[in-house]
Amino acid sequence: MSKSFNLDSVLKSFMESARKETFDNLGSDANEVRFQNYIRGKKFFLVLDGVWQENRSDWSSFFELLEVQSNGCAVLVTTQSVTGAAVVGSKHTYELSTLLEEDLMAIFEANAFKLSQERSSDYPDLMEIGKEIVSSCYGNPMFVKTFGEVLFDKRTKKEWQLVQDTNISELPRNESSISEALSLCYYRLPTHLKACLSYCALFSKSFEFEKDFLTKLWLAGDLIQSKVNIRIEDSADLCFEELVKRSYFQISVQQQGTTQKYKLQGLVYEMFKIVGTNNPFKARVDSRRSLLQQSKYLRYLSLDYHDGAEAVDMNDLVAFKKLRTIILMRQVPFAGFCDDFFEKLEFIRVLDLSRSGITALPSSIKDCKYLKYLDVSGSEIASIDAGICNLIWLETLKIKNCKHLKELPEEFSNLVNIRHLEMDEESLVHTPVHIRRLTQLRELKKFVIRNLNGCRIAELVEMNQLEGSLCIEGVEHASDVEEDEAQPERYLDRKDHVQKLKLYVKDQAVPIGTAKLGFELSHPSPKLPELIVEGYIWDSLWEWDWRSLALETVDLIGCSNLTSIRGLRELPRLKRLKLSGFNVIYLDSSFFGQDDDVGFSLLDTLALDLWNQWETWDGVGKYMLKIVRLCIQNCPAFHTLPDLSEWHSLNFLDLKTECMAPPSGSTELSRYWKSRDIYSDCPPLTYKSEDQIHPRNHECLDFQNVPLADPSAVVVAAIVVHFLHEPSDI
């Protein structure tokens, strides 16, 4: 296939390949008629190799022509793009992984010693160098083949070492070369994706980043275009996912409980060298010496000084008066600013000082009138200069893990364009007063209710753009209002974009009536999927319209005196329930609010943790009938499971507790669960009878014999060859 799609050319190529003769390029209608007449009544297997076209409408007209003869026919597409596989209507997609090292070595040897009577075993010293060369090729057979061809007529160790030290981008170029392929990967990208990807030239090969980090940098750099009815953050997310899908970003190994991280594929850096994204306006420097050699027109800069190198002296940057972006890539010694630093760099839009030793920002920060992104996370900063309140275009402020920072400037609410205030849930920073003015704010991890010289929950009423996670500390005081202040029925019910809400009780000395009213006024949006409540010490649940909520996950922490969770059984979509730190001794059906109605109809996971006094569980009744996973952890007094025979869906037990010895004559749990997946750190728990659980066989689907839904249709399959893929340790 050619790099640009042309239906007439495709049909002409098909006819010439099938008929083994040359055809004149007739008009479009004549070509289509000739093509359909030829395939009518025939079965064919059509291979479209190297498809780049990603416009669905172009392919629709081609596949419509195949409908005259579809029974028993197949089309195989090879492409480097997942999107390319999708637009051709592929029903079966196969993504090829990189080759094994021994296969790559075989390709290397075949090209380095081809058409020769020599054998690679005759040159052990050269082959040691060859192995290192192959290991630097990112698992890509084209690179391996090219290096082998370059070494074909070279037989001295010095020559091989010179080739080993050669960058991939410096290898000989020809029409089918690596440089041509990498250039094509870049230039086939839409314009907006080119800009987003080339921005990543500021990162090192080993640098790992989260999606949220990169998309906010794109936004601050004005690389994302807003669209009608689509939030600009969503547009940035779509660009990121598109680059992941096209294999420019590699997913890093994810630690449990952490946010997914990514890094650039190694070949992307070679591509940057070839297409020239590292130009005089953009640089990643690893030393002060390298910094001082940069062009005075530099606009985008990342300081990636080696560990143990000289301190980062920000005053070195004042010579680059056109700078737009400054990013510190790693934790290194920090020499600080001169007082007029920002007066001399007034065009700064992105300033990332995270993990630096900075203790304060100079007062000249007020002169950064174009600043959109400021990150001081993980620094030693103890205060933020009030001059920041003049930065009316500031969109993102990151203050995560700033252990010495407790207050934001008093006039912080002047930042009417701020969209992301990124801080820890455990942060000591108090919520700024008059925060209600920041109606564009989308990210506010923590809101602290302080009724004396602080914020009341009423500040949140009009902040309906909030999204992600929101923790409200001091929710028991939500009912406290000024004498002349009207009290709405609910403060949070229009926060439709919030995905996780945590309500934290700080003052447990308030009367139960006050606390319950605070919770009732904090009734969430019906769209909220996850709720966490911590420190609610009273014996009965607050009143909410539970049936109107779409909650799927509920986590109650330290609600020690609750004797019943009856309200939760009314949640129509609840799937996961975790109860931690309860003082229940005897657990029976009344705790779950058993009545004539079958409750918890969709619940599939139940977790009980830190029930220090819990001793017995008197049956599960006819509720929670769809439980799949039961987790019991850190319950030292509990030793006997109830009859679980009603839970037919249960297939995973997670038992991590120092249990008391089982009663005499009881049967070990593992004896009955040989076909189930059990994880246990404790002495065996016991059942009350031996006939409660009957293992069921687990069947495997045989995909080789799955019938086609429409046997008369053309079967379209795609093989996706990710040119930019490299071996992964995932």
Tens of pLDDT, residues 284-334: 888 888 888 888 889 999 988 876 557 778 888 888 999 999 998 877 767
For residue 75, name the pLDDT band (cuts at 50, 70, 90).
Answer: confident
- Taking the C-alpha atoms of residue 388 and residue 116, their distance in angstroms, rounded to an integer, is 71
Stretch among 211-215, 314-318, 337-341, 717-721 having the lowest mean pLDDT: 717-721
For residue 268, name the pLDDT band (cuts at 50, 70, 90).
Answer: confident
Q: What is the pLDDT of residue 440?
A: 92
Q: What is the pLDDT of residue 682?
A: 38
* Superfamily (CATH) of domain 279-429: Ribonuclease Inhibitor (3.80.10.10)
Task: Give 87 or 550, the one with higher predicted confidence.
Answer: 550
Helices (H), 326-447: 341-344
Q: Contact at 8 Å (CB) between 399 and 427?
A: yes
Q: What is the pLDDT of residue 605?
A: 95
Q: For 370-383, how does the pLDDT look when each residue is reduced to its tens digit (9 = 90+)?
A: 999 999 998 889 88
Q: How confident is the model over 123-131, as a mean pLDDT?
A: 89
* Percent of the chain predicted with pLDDT > 90: 28
Q: What is the DSSP letter of 227?
A: B
Stretch among 72-81, 571-580, 632-641 having the lowest mean pLDDT: 72-81
- Taking the C-alpha atoms of residue 319 and residue 305, their distance in angstroms, rounded to an integer, is 19
For residue 277, name the pLDDT band (cuts at 50, 70, 90).
Answer: low
Q: For 479-506, how does the pLDDT look when each residue is reduced to its tens digit (9 = 90+)?
A: 876 555 555 668 899 999 999 999 999 8
Q: Contact at 8 Å (CB) between 609 and 639?
A: no
- Taking the C-alpha atoms of residue 88 and residue 84, their distance in angstroms, rounded to an integer, is 7
Mean pLDDT for the chain overall: 80
Task: Give 653 or 555, the one with higher predicted confidence.
Answer: 555
Look-up of token digits 């995905």: 499
Highest-confidence segment of 42-56, 268-282, 529-543, 613-627:
529-543
- Taking the C-alpha atoms of residue 374 and residue 425, their distance in angstroms, rounded to an integer, is 19
Q: What is the pLDDT of residue 380?
A: 87
- Taking the C-alpha atoms of residue 413 and residue 389, their distance in angstroms, rounded to an integer, is 8
CA distances from 192 to 189, 230, 239, 243 (A): 8, 16, 8, 11
CA distances from 395 to 208, 328, 372, 375, 447 (A): 23, 19, 5, 11, 19
For residue 420, give every residue at least 6 positions away whose Cβ sits within 8 Å of its Cβ, in sequence order, or none.
216, 395, 396, 397, 398, 441, 442, 443
Q: What is the pLDDT of residue 227?
A: 82
Kindly list the domain boundaries of the chain, sorted by start residue: 7-88, 101-175, 179-275, 279-429
Q: What is the pLDDT of residue 576?
A: 96
- Taking the C-alpha atoms of residue 691 and residue 689, their distance in angstroms, rounded to an integer, is 6
Cα atoms in the Cβ-side hemisphere of radius 13 Å centred on 42: 11
Per-position b or e across 352-381, b if 16+ CB within 10 A of its CB: bbbbbbbebbbebbbbbeebbbbbbbbbeb
- Taking the C-alpha atoms of residue 571 and residue 600, their distance in angstroms, rounded to an integer, is 7
Same fold, 179-275 and 279-429: no
- Residue 370 phi, psi dihedral angles, 5° rounding: -100, 0
- Taking the C-alpha atoms of residue 522 and residue 504, their distance in angstroms, rounded to an integer, is 11
Tokens of 683: 């002495």
Q: How confident is the model over 74-82, as a mean pLDDT?
A: 79
Q: What share of the chain is helix, strand, coil (3-state, %, to 5)?
A: 30, 20, 55
pTM passes above 0.85: no
Stretch among 221-230, 420-429, 521-530, 585-594 having the lowest mean pLDDT: 585-594
Which of helix, strand or coil describes residue 152? coil
Q: What is the pLDDT of residue 671?
A: 32
**Number of neighbours of residue 125 by Cβ within 10 angstroms:** 10
Task: Give 472 or 70, the one with higher predicted confidence.
Answer: 472
Which of helix, strand or coil describes residue 448? strand
For residue 684, name the pLDDT band (cuts at 50, 70, 90).
Answer: very low
**Residue 529 in this model has a pLDDT that exceeds 50:** yes
Q: Which CATH number fits domain 179-275: 1.10.10.10, 3.40.50.170, 3.40.630.40, 1.10.3720.10?
A: 1.10.10.10
Tokens of 374: 């400021």
